[in-house]
Structure 1
Amino acid sequence: MTGRGERTPQMSVQEFEEIAAAAPKTVTLEFLGGRLEVKKGADGDRGTVLCRLRRRCLQVAPELDLYQGQGLRVEERREGRARPDAVLVPRGHFAGHGEWAEPAGTLMAVEVTAYDPDTNRLNRHGKPTAYGQSGIPLYLLIDRDACTVTVHSNPDRHVGGYRDLHVAKFGEKVSLPGPVGFELDTEILKNYVR
């Protein structure tokens, strides 16, 4: 253990990137809090949720792109590596960026839970901390286990996480505050849970 209760990293960021580059395309690896994480692959329902979100974004904000699979350098000193299920950015924002882009310019990171045992630790705790430390204005968690949508806003770069959380049950309308600034109807999400 290091100071303030932090763990010693399992490996360096460079070692992680080498492992991630050599991994088969069917495996998604992340590096959060100094730990190697294996992200569960998308199922058809999860993919459908992301497609519906993409259509909504294009409908109300055609100047934005919703990327899937873009890696981000996250955490306080950019020593983490995350692959959000989707990232909302200005159109063409990631052109010319490599596999792991800086989070600057990212408007919202999105995760859709995957029914795996690490959901609580990663999507509900680790990812909000990493994305908040990175200054990403919004984190949208579509939680198929709890049948809720959580909008994290007002990032706290020093402590990590977000100062404001709004939780809505599937079926309610959810407002995404600025810089995104549009509403989501979550009724359809009820169709994509087990």
Structure 2
Amino acid sequence: MSTAPHVPGDYSTVSDPEQALKYAIRHIAGDRTEIIEGVITPMSPSWAHESAAEFVRRQLGARMDELDLVSGSGNLDLPGSENWYIPHLAIVPAELALKTEGALLPDQTLLIVEVSSPSNAETDRVVKRRRYGQYGAPLYLLIDRQNRSCTLYSEPTRLGYAAESGPHPFGTPVALPAPFDLELDTSRL
């Protein structure tokens, strides 16, 4: 018995399309490419995005040291879906980050921060909020630059997040719960 030859462009014979898509992103598309609901999305953060993420990172610095945490914008896999995210900032246990060569899962993070832009604001507000909650990320902070506000989502469920604090206008402190237990200054976002 012979198998039919592979026809270029026909991926119906791929045994696991999710894994094939995620492999292609990691090995072909480049380091700064996400898959959002099956759509390949190259990322090119602006200086404003990077500055907002850095402002949050600096405020968390001493607390991260105390708790042995690290921050970064590494890959997050959402297994069982066609999603592969690269958050603007994620806070994770240092030991876990050091042992992980590939992607982490959202439930392995302690805090995920996304900074919206005109081209991705609805994705951050709706899709990523739902998916991060479904995949167990304990805290999701949305820095919404278009609406000039911050919203903190918590209590992940299979449908998304059960609790939200905000939107808080820029300049209003945002309380980050345990393990951070600090007020986040939003005046320079």
Whether the 8 Å contact between 1:40 and 1:114 is mirrored in structure 2 is no
State the partner residue of 1:73: 77
State the partner residue of 2:104: 101
Whether the 8 Å contact between 1:86 and 1:110 is mirrored in structure 2 is yes
3-state SS in 2 of match to 1:100: coil
Aligned length: 170
> Is 45-54 or 130-139 further displaced after alignment?
45-54
Gap change, CA 1:129 and 1:100, over 3 Å in 2: same
| Seq. identity, % | 28
Q: Unaligned stretches of 5+ in structure 1?
A: 1-10, 190-194
Return the TM-score normalized by structure 1: 0.79
Is residue 13 of structure 2 the alignment partner of residue 12 of structure 1?
no
Letter in 2 for 1:146: N
Task: Select 1:53's aligned residue among 48, 52, 56.
Answer: 56
State the partner residue of 2:127: 126
State the alpha-carbon separation in 1 of the partners of residues 124 and 36 from structure 2: 11
Within 5 A, what are the aligned runs for 1:115-194? 115-116=118-119, 118-120=120-122, 122-156=123-157, 158-159=158-159, 161-167=160-166, 168-189=168-189
Letter in 2 for 1:100: A
Letter in 2 for 1:60: R
Letter in 1 for 2:34: E
Give the RMSD, CA atoms, in angstroms: 2.0
Whether the 8 Å contact between 1:139 and 1:151 is mirrored in structure 2 is yes
How many angstroms does 1:154 deviate by? 0.6
Return the TM-score normalized by structure 2: 0.81
Whether the 8 Å contact between 2:34 and 2:43 is mirrored in structure 1 is no
Whether the 8 Å contact between 2:50 and 2:88 is mirrored in structure 1 is no
Larger Rg over CA atoms? 2
How many angstroms does 1:17 deviate by? 1.8
Task: Select 2:34's aligned residue among 30, 41, 48.
Answer: 30
Is residue 116 of structure 2 the alignment partner of residue 113 of structure 1?
yes
